[in-house]
Chains A and B, each alone.
Chain A
Amino acid sequence: MDIFTKFKTLDSAYDKLLSVSKHDPFGTTIEKTLSATTGIIQGKETLLFGTNNYLGLSQSENARKAAAETALQYGVGTTGSRIANGTYSLHQSLERDLADFFNRRSCMVFSTGYQATLGMVSTLAGKDDYLFLDADCHASIYDGSRLSQAQIIRFRHNDADDLRKRLRRLGDIPGIKLIVVEGVYSMFGDIIPLKEFAQVKKEENAYLMIDEAHSFGIFGENGRGIAERDGVEQDVDFTVGTFSKSLGTVGGYCVSDYPQMDMLRLCTRPYMFTASLPPEVIAATRENLKLIKDHPELRDKLRANAERFYHGLQQAGFQTGPDISSVISVILEDVAQAAQFWNKVLELGAYINLSLPPATPDNRPLLRASIAAAHTSEQIDQLLKIYIQAAKDVCLPLK
């Protein structure tokens, strides 16, 4: 027995996957990006449908220019954490921009989205508190909850009544109760019925945090996410999110109206003990935030693309998730078939994501496509054709 023995099961599962999958779904390399929607993979021009680049802004001209100019002016890294030598006026400007965008008092910017959720969950909930997590919450939320040392209670996915039942079971037990949910869940792309959750939060005197990672820039009149779309922003105590989806860069944030947010800078470990974001990333993110504000038509285009793909899949007989969002998943029964399907899609010229149990809800393998505003209708139709051909090639029966 050695230090790696505990990974034997994982190792065998990976070997088994590679035995039925010519290409490695977890080792795909984009050799070159040609645009927001195309790149070179294995030497071949490939449609990119697995990038989370929902508004195409990773390639925005404004952001690239701002990043280049800022790198020339400030250098390429801060080499320190926000509470040491890593706070530039640029970081504070972005925090003000985001707080203004959300109409909130305060914003903390983190070096990744993972750290934003990890930091906020682990710091806000203490040893004697209770965290109520949706069963399908992202790994960063579960990891943060373990760091917090709070009591963690899972409730059934997107089920506000189940949450209410579990909150009530605790009775009058002392301790703060923090509910953590997501606007759009990244595996099926399904959307939270947030009004119902806001109601439970109020009834049960709890706090509510929402992760808008996959909904920011996409839903709501101004792109603030599901809370804006559903008109319940005032019932949300903390909104967290990432820059690495709609904003096209890297980093994370938390916005809130609580005046104590500044104090959290001194006790949130994933904020305190890591280098702050490089100046060029901050500059690019600020430019892309402006684009999100000034170009609502990007959201309309994304919605139209997502609807086109979702309805096309349903018409062809694929089993999809329940909602139309920027992530559209096809649900399969069998890992081997899903891996073969993923390979066919790649060979036919499109890159999507393969997600496998136990990282997926209900232990079902998923083929996940990230739809972007930058995709053309022709590219969406091309992906549909590729899916239908791949289904034929791997003998996947369609309804």
Chain B
Amino acid sequence: MTETIESVSNIIIETLLENPKVPRNISADSKIIEDLEFDSLAVMNFVMEIEDKLDVSMPLDRLTDVRTIRDLADAIVSLK
């Protein structure tokens, strides 16, 4: 396993920035719902993209505790 929470956070941020509607100043501490204004469906669809980039499947219940980009990275790393 080579990915760390930091490296996965960076991949998530890079992927998010591909969407022009996402604010440019996001960091690992950005809150996905509040700061990025994602609704629950948008979050689930975005997680699918990340899953494919990192070849991992994240069960939906893991999303319950995810608030920030770092939380999401943490959840993904724990699955690898």
Chain A residues close to B by CB (< 8 Å) = 130, 135, 145-146, 151-154, 156, 166, 169-170, 357-358, 363
Contact = CB atoms under 8 A, between A and B. Distances in A.
B27 interface: no
Interface of B: 39-42, 44-45, 48, 51, 55-61
A153 B60 contact: yes
Given A130-B59, A145-B60, 5 more contacts: A135-B44, A154-B60, A169-B56, A169-B57, A357-B41
B66 to A, nearest CB: 14
A263 B20 CA distance: 53
11 contacts: A130-B59, A135-B45, A152-B59, A152-B60, A153-B60, A154-B48, A154-B60, A166-B57, A357-B41, A358-B41, A358-B42
Contacts of A166: 51, 57
Closest 5 pairs between A and B when the two form their complex, measured CB to CB: A151-B59, A152-B60, A358-B41, A358-B39, A169-B57
Contacts of A135: 44-45, 48
A130 B51 CA distance: 17
A154 B44 contact: yes
Nearest to B39: A358
Contacts of B40: 358
Contact of B55 (A151, A169, A357, A363): A169
A363 B48 contact: no
Contacts of B41: 357-358, 363
A146 B59 CA distance: 11
A162 to B, nearest CB: 9
Given A358-B39, A358-B40, A170 B45 contact: no
Contacts of B60: 145, 152-154
Nearest to B55: A169
A395 to B, nearest CB: 25
A358 B41 CA distance: 6
A284 to B, nearest CB: 36
Nearest to B47: A154
B48 A156 contact: yes
A88 to B, nearest CB: 39
